Structure 1
Amino acid sequence: MNASPGPRREHQPPYWYGGGAVPLASRLLAAVYAAVSGMRRRLYARGWLRRGHPGVPVIVVGNITAGGTGKTPMTIALVERLRSEGWNPGVASRGYGRSDASAAVWVDAATPPDVGGDEPVLIARRTGVMLRADRDRAAAAKALAAAGCDVVICDDGLQHYRLRRDIEIEVVDGRRRYGNGQLLPAGPLRELPARAADCDFRVINGGDAGFGEWPMRLLFDRAVPVRGGRPRALESFKGHRVHAVAGIGNPERFFVMLRNLGIAVVPHAFADHHRYRAADFEFGSQLPVLMTEKDAVKCAEFATDAFHSVPVRAELPEAFWISLLDRLDSISAPSSPPDISVGAT
């Protein structure tokens, strides 16, 4: 069955990952994008644009492609592991999709998604971590350090050069990788692959990890009622038809994940960060609804007993954590970090 006719906006042209000719207009715009982004990087590298550091170690999680690669599960895994090692982490996030992006806000489990952003609210609910949403991630990091955090994790901040960082983690979709290898909008790249080579760790979500790369698996085994209640085994849906809802960077990954368990998926793909309404779920048939956690946090007000979220958790090799923790222990934070003021990003 085809995806629902509900609100959807196509982010990824077919030539990004599926081959085919790139339109001339997209190639011309990509050249302009390359010039502007390259100039911006050089201005920061030469110190002509100010960068800020909060005075505690900063770990940036990001990617060089547009769309989802698994950054949020990676961030959650970082929070949980660092906390277990005695650190007091905080998370800085832009909070994409917030109703007032100009306002900096503290996000916790009770923050409405339209105020804090869907991904920050999800992270806060899963971990209880101190989290600051601010389009100026450098200012957010400073606020977290002032509040007592001894390490800052910046969620989706690889291109936010205003924040000076100590460790960079690139998360890569192991199956799609870098697509056609071209910059936006001709391809999916925010920056060229040479930029990714500068990152301290390259984490591969799914697919096969190569030399110098760290494999990450997303584990899932439960379906949690959105309205609250006892979780049930995800395998209990095996052999049954369900409406599968995903408003993430790569919805097909979620659908394939369910199909691989033997679940008969009726897919409904929405734009990343879509703001759901009850009308979006008028599918014409009364089937169970399975959705990602990121989608579920925005559906609590109108969810029915049929709505279930599917939480995922990231699993990485112990050798990765040992290497990361060794790197973190070796970092000496600057004794006099520069002042940070809100400004251009």
Structure 2
Amino acid sequence: MRAPGFWVGSGGIAPLLLTPLSAIYAGATARRMARRGWQAPVPVICCGNATAGGAGKTTVALDIGRRLANRGIAAHFLLRGYGGSLKGPLRVDPDAHDSTQVGDEALLLAETRPTWISGDRGAGAQAAVAAGAQAIVMDDGLQNPTLEKDLSLLVIDGGFGFGNGRVIPAGPLREPVAAAAARSGAAVLIGKDETGALSQLPPGLPVLRAKLVAGPEAAMLAGQPVFAFCGIANPQKFFATLQEAGAVLAGREAFADHYPYDEGDLKELLAQAETLRAVAVTTKKDFVRIPAQFRSRVTVVTVSLAWEEPAAVESLLDPLAAKVPIPA
């Protein structure tokens, strides 16, 4: 879906008219979150956010998973599997599953370490622990009460912030910012705080700052014309990353988040790239949703996080690493 235009900014009559429904939504979320979930015998780290749509949660989860692996900890990823038809608990197999079954984020995570999808995160965590997980990294799930978290990171897109600051459907918030922040051990700001989002956080909440940087494959595109397309929550973030890497943006096409590309889409997109004499490029998340027969004609540009203070991230993980069960 595409977010309604009135979710950004503070004007318009629509948010005011929808405010009563927002109160109902927020109340239901608060009641749901008051329940206790399953307490895993291993550390659980949740990379969540307060808004609907992407904020960079998967990128943060990948980074945390890598840091745990560097400590010799067998971390497993856990997520809902948004956009997929399978409900789980299920371990994702990139060779057997596709994005229509498990969602695009699950496939990205499963390329690096064991990944589970489950609408009931508690049940998914139990399956992961039974399979040998020494820690669980959740991609999303801050508003899911079925699993207790040892550390929750409130991920914020610096360019979008909290939108108009209202709860669904009047705005993009899944719950009030204060409620999400109260359950978080730190906030992660990706990019510059262009909307003043940090001013809405409680004063004592630690803030970790990071920026997205293009992967090594982007260096090969420096100075070249590219035709960029993507179906992610914030397409402009991807386009800006390409330009910062030195690529010449000859054309661009933005689709709704998690857009399911079909054969017709790719024929049209590749035709546009050919007309512009440009390289067709997209994100890794989009790549797994492209029909297989077209993938050889599309270049993937990956992104990773560059932390302003990497040591601050590691210090958050230190006490959790100490809780990892030692194998018998």
Q: Shorter-chain TM-score: which interval?
A: 0.7 to 0.9
4+ runs of 1 displaced by more than 6 Å?
Answer: none
Deviation of the 1:41 alpha carbon:
2.6
Q: In 2, Cα distance between the equivalents of 1:244 and 1:332?
A: 42
Aligned match of 1:298 in 289, 306, 320? Answer: 289
Aligned to 1:72: 58
Deviation of the 1:80 alpha carbon:
0.9
1:160 aligns with 2:154: no
1:81 aligns with 2:43: no
Contact 1:107–1:121 (Cα < 8 Å) also in 2:
yes
Aligned to 1:21: 12
Deviation of the 1:265 alpha carbon:
4.3
Aligned match of 1:151 in 126, 129, 135? Answer: 135
- Structure 2 CA distance for partners of 1:259 and 1:332, relative to 1, 3 Å: closer
Deviation of the 1:124 alpha carbon:
1.2
Contact 2:22–2:167 (Cα < 8 Å) also in 1:
yes
Report sequence identity in percent.
35
Deviation of the 1:235 alpha carbon:
3.9
Deviation of the 1:134 alpha carbon:
1.0
Contact 2:47–2:142 (Cα < 8 Å) also in 1:
yes
Aligned match of 2:124 in 119, 125, 140? Answer: 140
Structure-to-structure mapping, 1:1-345, within 5 angstroms: 9-10=1-2, 12-23=3-14, 24-42=16-34, 44=35, 50-100=36-86, 102-110=87-95, 111-125=97-111, 127=112, 129-198=113-182, 199-208=184-193, 212-223=206-217, 234-260=218-244, 261-281=246-266, 282-283=268-269, 284-285=271-272, 286=274, 287-299=278-290, 301-303=292-294, 305-316=296-307, 317-329=309-321, 331=323
Deviation of the 1:325 alpha carbon:
2.2
Aligned residues: 305
Q: What is the root-mean-square deviation of aligned Cα atoms in Å?
A: 2.1
Which blocks of at least 5 consecutive residues in structure 2 are unaligned?
A: none
Q: Higher mean Cα deviation, 64-73 or 284-293?
A: 284-293
Which digits, 9 at most, give the CA deviation of each residue in 1:46-74, with x for residues without a partner? xxxx5212211111110001111111111
Question: Per the alignment, in what secondary structure is the counterpart of residue 232 of structure 2?
Answer: coil
Deviation of the 1:197 alpha carbon:
2.5
Amino acid corresponding to residue 85 of structure 2 in structure 1: S
Q: In 1, Cα distance between the equivalents of 2:189 and 2:143?
A: 19
Give the alignment's TM-score, normalised by structure 1: 0.82
